[in-house]
Amino acid sequence: MTHFPSLRRISRRVDVTRVDRESKDTKLRRLPPAGAPIRERPVTTRTLLLTIALLAAGLALAAPASAAAATPDPARALHEGLLTIDTHLDTPANFAKPGWDILDRHQIADESRVDYPRMVEGGLDGGFFAIYTPQGPRTPAGDAAARDAALLRAVEIREMVARHGDKFELALKADDAAAIVARGKRVVFMSIENSYPLEGDLTLMATFQKLGVRLIGPVHFKDNDLADSSTDAPEWHGLSPRGRQFVAEANRLGMVLDASHASDDVLDQMIALSHTPIILSHSGCKAVFDHPRNIDDKRLKALADSGGVIQINAMSAYLIPTPKNPAREAAMAALMAKMNPPGGLSAAQQQALRVEYRQIQKTYPEPRATLEDYMAQLLHALKVAGVDHVGIGADMDGGGGVVGLEDVAAYPVITKRLLAAGYTRDDLVKIWGGNVLRVLRQAEAYKASLTPP
Ligand SMILES: [Zn+2]
């Protein structure tokens, strides 16, 4: 809808930085270690022959590598040059776990799909790190407990960034993203998934905004005091009266509204009420797989017409049918009940739960969606909504990850598939972050318009 000429400049700047960084690393690898002695040796026939033989062997070994270096994967190279943002990373749930460090490489078998090494490997520049709060009792005590948990999670995200300030940086506005990448760091936007923590006191939204939150969704799996969930019975038939105030307050504070998990009525009402476009940070298309978490084509078009963006989710349950398995559900519920005891879990307790989780997976295996299912969703959304209204929000660490797209390290395959489907570099700039940053800029501009200088 709105054209942002600065996007091209941003991505070119990113390209240059990356090339500089890579060539610097390559040069460093070629140099001898500092202080290494350079010795002269008498050259005998024997050493000469040996040298020739070694050189020949070395050349023979080096040949395929040189050939490979001469023809790098163009899709991969293009991917590295993009500013890539995933709008739903549930990784902050790990930040306070004893001994867990985002700089370590973790295991998919432990349901970990995002960490620094794999962000680098997958060319993922950053994303919206979620403050997720499960819906609990809608009572003053429940609201207060949710508020405290969410405030602590926000602090934990900031602590992670502070601890690893050479590798991560908090982004507070859309333009920060490219600047942070240019400084060689990963981008940390903050988001709220489920506004249960502020359903009892909307003035808290300003507190979360000050902490850095820029994307906010009203509801999760269950209805709350703000809105109906897509996976619960209608209670308000959309937004509650307080939910309407919630929309106005998000607009006033320059935050982007997120309709993922909200019911279709909430989506319709948020599009109608919000002064700036909304996004669905991790959702899909009903036309490809009919699930309450996905939206129909009519709404997809309405979202696009209003300037909004859908970010496609990689969660199996929203991509392919999952047969009911009460025994598995009981085992998972028992496991989940042990996940958050007061006082947290020791490293040994965490390990025991990991073993239990793997055992459940083995005993009750579920059908898993594949990259093909993910691409079917992504390509459908692109066809219906257009390239200015689709992006990536794969729900990694929140249940996302499919065969062929198991973790963020695999993200270049999305670029490869989109190029193969005929999308251009300019399209990929939009899909991988340009669209969602444009919506954030619109939210910022609306906020600025309310307070003239
Ligand atoms: Zn979610």
pLDDT digits (tens, 9 = 90+) for 128-157: 999 999 999 999 999 999 999 999 999 999
Rounded to the nearest whole angstrom, what is the distance from the C-alpha of residue 67 to the centroid of ligand 1?
44
Rounded to the nearest whole angstrom, what is the distance from the C-alpha of residue 193 to the centroid of ligand 1?
7
pLDDT score for 361: 84
Above 50 in pLDDT, residue 26? Answer: no
Rounded to the nearest whole angstrom, what is the distance from the C-alpha of residue 29 to the centroid of ligand 1?
43
Residue 70 banded pLDDT, cuts 50, 70, 90: low
pLDDT tens digits, residue range 85-120? 999 999 999 999 999 999 999 999 888 999 999 999
Q: Rounded to an integer, what distance in angstroms lies between the CA atom of residue 146 and that of residue 139?
A: 10
Q: Rounded to an integer, what distance in angstroms lies between the CA atom of residue 119 and that of residue 103?
A: 10
Rounded to the nearest whole angstrom, what is the distance from the C-alpha of residue 86 to the centroid of ligand 1?
13
Rounded to the nearest whole angstrom, what is the distance from the C-alpha of residue 133 to the centroid of ligand 1?
10
Please provide the distance, in angstroms rounded to a whole number, between the alpha carbons at the two ends of the chain.
27
pLDDT score for 338: 86
Rounded to the nearest whole angstrom, what is the distance from the C-alpha of residue 291 to the centroid of ligand 1?
14
Rounded to the nearest whole angstrom, what is the distance from the C-alpha of residue 452 to the centroid of ligand 1?
36
Rounded to the nearest whole angstrom, what is the distance from the C-alpha of residue 183 to the centroid of ligand 1?
31
Rounded to the nearest whole angstrom, what is the distance from the C-alpha of residue 282 to the centroid of ligand 1?
7
Rounded to the nearest whole angstrom, what is the distance from the C-alpha of residue 228 to the centroid of ligand 1?
15
Rounded to the nearest whole angstrom, what is the distance from the C-alpha of residue 319 to the centroid of ligand 1?
14
Q: What is the mean pLDDT of residues 70-82?
A: 88
Above 60 in pLDDT, residue 19? Answer: no
Rounded to the nearest whole angstrom, what is the distance from the C-alpha of residue 259 to the centroid of ligand 1?
10
pLDDT score for 200: 94
Rounded to the nearest whole angstrom, what is the distance from the C-alpha of residue 393 to the centroid of ligand 1?
10
Q: Rounded to an integer, what distance in angstroms lies between the CA atom of residue 438 and that of residue 434?
A: 6
Rounded to the nearest whole angstrom, what is the distance from the C-alpha of residue 262 to the centroid of ligand 1?
10
> Worst-scoring range by mean pLDDT, 29-43, 216-230, 257-271, 319-333?
29-43
Rounded to the nearest whole angstrom, what is the distance from the C-alpha of residue 247 to the centroid of ligand 1?
19
pLDDT score for 122: 98
Type of residue numbered 34: A
Question: By CB neighbour count within 10 A (0-12 exposed, 13-18 middle, 19+ buried), where does 321 fall?
Answer: exposed
**Adjacency order of strands within the sheet including 390-392:** 294-295, 279-285, 309-312, 390-392
Above 50 in pLDDT, residue 77? Answer: yes
Whether the CB-CB separation of 87 and 215 falls below 8 Å is answered with: yes
Q: What is the mean pLDDT of residues 184-208?
A: 98
Question: By CB neighbour count within 10 A (0-12 exposed, 13-18 middle, 19+ buried), where does 4 fall?
Answer: middle
Q: Which residue carries 């257009």 as its tokens? A: 386
Above 60 in pLDDT, residue 42? Answer: no
Rounded to the nearest whole angstrom, what is the distance from the C-alpha of residue 392 to the centroid of ligand 1?
14
Rounded to the nearest whole angstrom, what is the distance from the C-alpha of residue 394 to the centroid of ligand 1?
10
pTM score, whole prediction: 0.82
Of residues 304 and 23, the one with the higher pLDDT is: 304
Rounded to the nearest whole angstrom, what is the distance from the C-alpha of residue 342 to the centroid of ligand 1?
24
Above 60 in pLDDT, residue 14? Answer: no
Q: What is the mean pLDDT of residues 22-44?
A: 34
Q: What is the mean pLDDT of residues 274-295?
A: 98
Above 70 in pLDDT, residue 386? Answer: yes
